[in-house]
Amino acid sequence: MPQRIHHLDSLTIDQIAAGEVIDVPASCVKELVENSLDAGANDILVEVSLGGRDLIRVTDNGCGMGRDDIISSIERYATSKLQHIDDLQRLLSRGFRGEALASIVSISHVTITSAEKDGDAPICSATTLVAEGGKICSVIDTQAPPGTTVEVASLFYNVPARRKFLKSPAKDSQDIIKTMTCLSLASPSVSFRLIVDGRQVIGVTAEQSEPLNARIRALLKDPFVNDSFDVRHTRDGFSLTGLIADPRHARSTRSGQYLIVNGRYVVSFPMSYAIKAAFGTTCEDGKHPLFALHLSLDPSSIDVNVHPQKKEVRFADEEWVRMLVQESVSEALFGKRGFSTSCDASLPLYSQSSASESNEDVFSAWRYAAVEEAPVMAFEMAKGTSSSAPQCLVVMGDVALIKLPRTSVFPLAIPDDALLLLDLRQAMRAVVFRDFENSSSELRTELFLVPISFDCSSQEAALITQAIPEFEKIGVIVRSIGPQTFLIEGAPKLFLDIDLQKFCIDIAYEGVLSSHDAKRAALHKRLATTYVATMKALRFPVDPDVALTIFTRWSQHDFPELSPDGKPCYSQLTSSSLKEWIVKGVK
């Protein structure tokens, strides 16, 4: 019988490995920049074109390589960062497997020029290696500045299956911007420049004073510039530093979360959950807080060798790390006397009245209206001051307790002696969803006398720029006036009560408007959810008059029982149910 098992040839092996390490152009950028950082570079320039598939060039001023090292660098499992298996226990370098360059060379045209430093000489003896499809084409001696330049052209040219499944060049460029943002946050003492299709989108110099926080603010802009909390916590070999944004800036995705562990950007859902738990009830259910944090631990307590692209890590004592992360963030938000964060994060926000007197100074910091303009509702206020009108007795977080007038007839199955528990966010979602459904295909734009100007991060700028034509379809006029600066020149009257900057960023991240295959109802559902999340009037604490206004808007739409995502808008509180709770409490 013919032999069924056979050995793969070296090119196939390399291309399979490349699929694990270099799956998209951003992965190639990440590996090359990490090599530059491990080479001791403090100035790194990255240039890409056509989303990286046409060209990726990384130039650094690191230690450089000699002729023999350049030749060895493109071989698999050839590395200067690891010698023995025991070295995995205390890894401090970004890369270590020796697979990156070999994988890149096997699927592209690569040119490497490197020169070792020769005192203070600006130009030194150098070597240029040209390789294609895993094979060396030439190695020549030349002259070059100290450092290394790696040029990758025609990425995936010989792997059509991989190239076929690449996303658009614009999306690949956005991924590269996100990758460079993470790498820049991880190394605040290094200067970075990123040029995409001839335009510089990232340009940060080595930070001197408070390098980490300065780098975060330079890259991520608002809300980290004007509305964030400083995290500084050190204990038993554990250190957590960085910035967390005010919870009202939370997003429906984790796009604004950056966690650096021992100088390496990683994704850690347990740590993300711990940080969300630290916010307690100040962060709405279904939303994710924004943060940029550096976590430092003993390298022997972290396993970085659990993912081919080193995107994930494992902790030897994950529960201990999670506890300290949650404690550190809670302390930054509320101080050491802040309320417990062990509560259920799915509950509504605390109200001012729910805080004890001893914590009054803690909660006073959360009076948003004291630090910015008071919320302006885009509709007429309706105050229930008489017995013939609804009355808001109290607002607890985003739930209002409303007393209905006995003289009026409401199409709600609520007894005369009952109180209405209105979920303000769900009710507004139902209202706004119906407003969008009843509006014309193009909402009428009201131009602003004074346009709204805002800055954002490089990644956000790329997303917003791409979404500008789509914003116009819903009546929001956005214009770019700089690499990371935009003007909002107009919006429909319906949008006057929301934080338009946050709305534009959230919508751009979710890509709702650009989903051409999305059904009209699904689009309006997402727009309504984002609209309500950015309403100024629903920021903590919610004014009772605002609650009554929302009730009025809700009643004008015939009291919808469910929000667009199927959640109830209201419930009832009767004397009998209260008695049942009292009896259960006594037992």
Q: pLDDT of 108-140, one tens digit each?
A: 999 999 999 888 888 999 999 999 888 899 999
Q: What is the mean pLDDT of residues 515-521?
A: 60
Give which of 142, 136, 105 is closest to 14, Cα–Cα.
Answer: 105
The pLDDT assigned to 407 comes to 55
Three-state DSSP class for 342? coil
Q: What is the mean pLDDT of residues 83-88?
A: 45
Q: pLDDT of 15-61, one tens digit each?
A: 665 656 788 899 999 999 999 998 899 999 999 999 998 999 999 99
The pLDDT assigned to 383 comes to 44
Q: Which of 62-76, 79-93, 255-269, 426-440 has the lowest mean pLDDT?
A: 79-93
The pLDDT assigned to 141 comes to 92
Instruction: Provide the residue count of the chain.
Output: 587
The pLDDT assigned to 36 comes to 92
Share of the chain above pLDDT 70, in %: 77
Q: Provide, for the chain, the percentages of residues in helix, strand and coil under a 3-state DSSP scheme, each rounded to the nearest 5.
A: 35, 25, 40
Task: Please indicate whether residue 388 or residue 338 has the higher confidence score (pLDDT).
Answer: 388
Say what the pTM is.
0.72
Task: Please indicate whether residue 151 or residue 466 has the higher confidence score (pLDDT).
Answer: 151
* Cα torsion 502, 504, 510, 513: sign: positive
Q: What is the mean pLDDT of residues 144-172?
A: 88
Residue 358 dihedral angles phi and psi, to the nearest 5°: -70, -20
Question: Which CATH architecture does the domain made up of 211-347 adopt?
Answer: 2-Layer Sandwich (3.30)
Residue 534 dihedral angles phi and psi, to the nearest 5°: -110, 10
Out of 173-182, 245-254, 475-484, 499-508, give the one with best mean pLDDT: 173-182
What is the rounded CA–CA span in Å between residue 287 and residue 188? Answer: 28
Three-state DSSP class for 162? helix
The pLDDT assigned to 180 comes to 95
Q: What is the mean pLDDT of residues 298-325?
A: 73
Three-state DSSP class for 187? coil
514 pLDDT tier (thresholds 50, 70, 90): low
Question: Which CATH architecture does the domain made up of 10-204 adopt?
Answer: 2-Layer Sandwich (3.30)
- Residue 83 in this model has a pLDDT that exceeds 60: no
Q: What is the CATH number of domain 391-573?
A: 3.30.1370.100
Report helix angle 318-334 to 269-279, nearest 10: 30
The pLDDT assigned to 117 comes to 86
Q: What is the mean pLDDT of residues 224-253?
A: 88
Amino acid at 133: G
346 pLDDT tier (thresholds 50, 70, 90): very low
Q: Which of 156-160, 239-243, 481-485, 573-577 has the lowest mean pLDDT?
A: 573-577
Count CA atoms closer than 13 A to 296's CA, side-chain side: 13
With contact defined as beta carbons under 8 Å apart, do 261 and 240 qualify?
A: no
Tokens of 575: 């004397």
Task: Please indicate whether residue 9 or residue 554 has the higher confidence score (pLDDT).
Answer: 554
Out of 117-121, 213-217, 399-403, 446-450, give the one with best mean pLDDT: 213-217
The pLDDT assigned to 342 comes to 39
Q: What is the mean pLDDT of residues 312-325?
A: 82
Residue with tokens 């592209």: 108
Q: What is the largest CA-CA distance in the chain?
A: 95
Q: How far is CA 331 from CA 110, 216, 223, 328, 536, in A?
A: 49, 20, 19, 5, 26
- Residue 105 in this model has a pLDDT that exceeds 50: yes
Share of the chain above pLDDT 90, in %: 25
69 pLDDT tier (thresholds 50, 70, 90): confident
Task: Please indicate whether residue 283 or residue 220 has the higher confidence score (pLDDT).
Answer: 220
The pLDDT assigned to 4 comes to 60
- Residue 269 in this model has a pLDDT that exceeds 50: yes
- The residue extents of the domains of the chain are 10-204, 211-347, 391-573
